[in-house]
Each structure stands twice: as C-alpha cells, then as structure tokens.
Structure 1
Amino acid sequence: TMYLTGQGTRLFEKALLEQGLTWKKFFVQAKRFKGTFSRLDIAINDNWSLLDMDEIIEATQQNRFWSKSRSFAIHGNNQDGWTANFGKSPFVIRIYDKQKEQEQKGLETSIKNRVELELHVDRAEQVISEWFENDNLVEYSVSILYTYLWFVDEPIDDEELKGTHVRERYIDTLKPMPAWSLLTSLGQSMKFVREPKEQSVDSILSWIMKYVVPSLEVLKKTGHWHEVIEAMDKANLSPEQEKLVKANLVNAITNTKANLEHGNLNFDKQQRKYVEETAEFEKKANLPF
C-alpha cells in the first residue's frame, strides 16, 4: 500500500526520474503486478488568478451552478481561504485557494487557485484506463470537469434542475460565468507536468520532526531505543543518500570556514601559533622530547 501526499508526490517523482520512469510507466508496471488504485487526485492549477474564489462561493450560495450531484459544501473564509466541494465519494470536485492554503502552512507557491478531481476506486480506475488507451489524461480530465460542473451568471430554478434535459437548456440559454468558461476552454491546452523535488537534509529533518519523532518517543519509553540505534548503525544508504550526506558535509565545512574567516580567525595562523608556543614551552622546561 502506498499513500502519497502532495509533498510526497514531488519527492516520488524524483525517484521515478532517476529510474527513467514516467507516472504512466509506473502505473503500467503497477497494473502488471495486479496493483489497484483506490484513489486518484488530479489537480488543475490556476496560476493566473482566472478564478475568483469569492465569486465561486457567491455563485454556489446563490444556486448559480449546475452539477450532476446537488451535494455541495463550503468551508473556510475570505481571510484563510475558501474551499468548495461538489459531490460525494466516489467522485468529488474541489475548488480552493491554494495560495492561502499554503500560507497557512508557512509555505509559498505560485499557484493561485486549484481545481481538484478526487476519484475513488472504480472512478480512479476508469480515468487511468482511459489514460492507458488514449494517452489524453489532460483532455479527458477537463472533459469530466465540463460534464459534471458548470457555473453561470444567472440563478436556476430548483424545479428545472429535476428535468431530463436540464444541462442542454442550462448551457445553451443561460449566461456562463466567464472565468469558469475560460478555465475549461483553456484546460484543453494544458499539459500534464511533473515537478520532481530534490530531497534535502532540511526536508528530511522537517519530516522526521513532524511525523516520526512521536513514534520514536514511544519506542524510547517502551525500551526499544537501542534497537533503533543499532538499526541506524547498520543502515545502508543509497548512492543518492550518500551524495546528500557528502554535499551537506562539504557545505557545512565551507560555511564554517567562511564564518571563521569573517571573524578574522584563521586555522593555519592559529596552528602556527600553537606550534611556536609549544616549542617555546618545551625549550624553557628543558623537556627531553
């Protein structure tokens, strides 16, 4: 079982890249070993502020949207960022302020807003199968978004939503929300991108402190700490990890030397002074060595 968060995905992409694998090749290999996909999240990033989350929330509250599922939920606020969910598992469309979400975590991002397709079990398998067969993940994802959710600049009557041909009337006769219409049309030209992230000592430390330390404390208090230390001593580092350790050591030495020189300290000068003072002491003490 493998579960990847957003940050985990970026790090895993780096591992795939080192093995000459794309996401598609990885999924194909997983299928060969009878792998199944219980969840798949597809993110459509709005880097240009096409969407205004206040406008999306207002349109939702005023019933100015069409969706195959009338289930929706709104979370957040203007200061911390809005999130709007449409539908329920196995398929949810989520729209939220990505930039404010990252700011709450103390992180930075160039993404303004994000539209996510959260697909579970059969829906996830369906999208992956389409990807395998037609190699059109982006186009297919945007077509799903277009088919399941649409915003307009006019309210729609609840009774009309119960009709059998509601969408045709809704799309054809009501004025669309310009931003949503533009996003879905531009989506056809978007590309599936990878953003592999280099692992760093700082990122490892941050992850350990946040997710691992509590578990280590349990092992320590239950008498298993020595096993952890022994396992660390016997651990075999990968070539990439060895490079990381070496690079960090070189960087630490360089920074330390720079700091010492900046403080007018010089190792060679101090060593010469030590040798001279030692020789002078030995001479005065008349020691036999």
Structure 2
Amino acid sequence: MPTVIDTTPRILYSCYSNVSRDGEQFIPQHVFGFIVSGSTTVGMDSKMYTFNAGDFRFLRKNQLSKFVKLPPAGGEFKTVSITMDEGTLRSVSEELNLKADIPYTGENALLLKPNNLFRNYIDSLAPYMDEGQEISKTLTALKVKEAIMILLETNPELKNVLFDFSQPGKIDLEAFMNKNYKFNVDIARFAYLTGRSLATFKRDFAKTFHTSPNRWLQLKRLHDAYYLLKEKGWKTSDVYMEVGFKDFSHFSYAFKKTYGVAPSTVA
C-alpha cells in the first residue's frame, strides 16, 4: 500500500513579517501560487528556483523541497497558494476529455508568464485574504477548479502534468536515498517516492545498504553533522535540522552514543 497523502483542495494565504524563514516540506499536490510580496527560493531535485514579488508559479506534486522565504525590507512576506487535489483533477479530465499524452519531463517548479487571467483570479481571492475569513469548502472547490481551467487555457502543455495520475515509478533506490537522506520524512514517504511498498522498500534497502533504513539514515546524518561541526565550525543548534533531525535532544543523544562525546564539545 502506498503512503496516504492529503487529498484536500486548499487555498492558503501565508504572511510572515520581519524575519526570513527556512525549512523543508513534501509537496503532495500540484500547487499554483502567487508571490504577493517578498521572495522565496525553492530547492528541488538538486535545482534551485527563485520567485519574487509579482511572480506566478507552479510546483509539481510528489516533490521533496527545501525553501527560504524572505520578506522585503521592513515588510511582510506574503503568498497565495492553491493546491489541486486529485479528485478535482480527475473530474476536469473527464469533463474536458483531456488526458496526459506523454510523460512529463520538464521542470518541477515553473515560473509562469503573467497574464490577465492569472491576475484577475488572484484579485478575486483578495477579499477573503484581506479580511482573514475562511473560504467555505464549496467555494474552495470552485476556485480550485477555476485555477485548473486557467492553467489549461494559458499553458495547455501542463495537461501532461495535471492529468498524470500514475503513482511514482520504481527508481534507483541508492541514488535517490543518497540525494534525499537529509529530508526529515518518514520511511513510508521514501518508499512511496521510490515506487515501492513499505515492505519492498525495506527489503530492497537491506540488499542495497546492508542495514535498515532507520539505522542508515541516522548514521548518514550523524556523519554529516560531525563534519559540519569539526571541519566547518557550525553551531550545534544549527546542525541538527540541517542534516535531517527534527528534535535536538534526540540528535544530541544519538551523536554522543555514536561518537562518545556531546556535539557541543566537537571542535
């Protein structure tokens, strides 16, 4: 069984002031978004994408990403994001009799050329965002469908992305894990993204790395942490999240158990 992902359509309004924010996330659904103010850099599959105020963007589903969000000087970072659930996409696909013709091989994050349809659509959401009122499920469903229709009208080639309902295919496990081990997601998510059931993932992992996924991930992250502390002079408080640990106390305990010293004493 693939890992369960949220399939709820959403319209999200983000607003941060004064300080930059960084982190990581799994993108389970396609996202159409607009940068109201500030800028953001998104890292996906070893590529970096930068979006600035006034930019419209499209993010492909099933991606692990790292991000940095920067507010303008003295202002706020603001974005509007519309997530497109599979149910709505399937409905539009059937209604318009449109299907993916060929596998999509383009970028995972796209800077979309601005146009009046995009601008008018975002303007139609402004009253709800400005007043901070919650958008009803019925209206959300309608606006998500509208976003899909506008994307198809302005970028018809995106049908090969939007209407591809296949599960991630089985890929090279070793290459994927060595590229993405710093992402703090559960094992079921790694299994899903490599096109495997959890049981098959664990079995293939043992054949490839000769250990369990949890053990390999911990040692790989601890090795990186030791390097950053010893060779790069990083602060302990900055290292643990960088290498993929969620909790500092767990990182500190695992580090001491592996290296015999607390991370704060490495110099």
Q: TM-score, normalised by structure 2?
A: 0.27
- Hey, which of these two has a bigger chunk of strand by percent? 2
- Hey, which of these two has a bigger chunk of helix by percent? 1
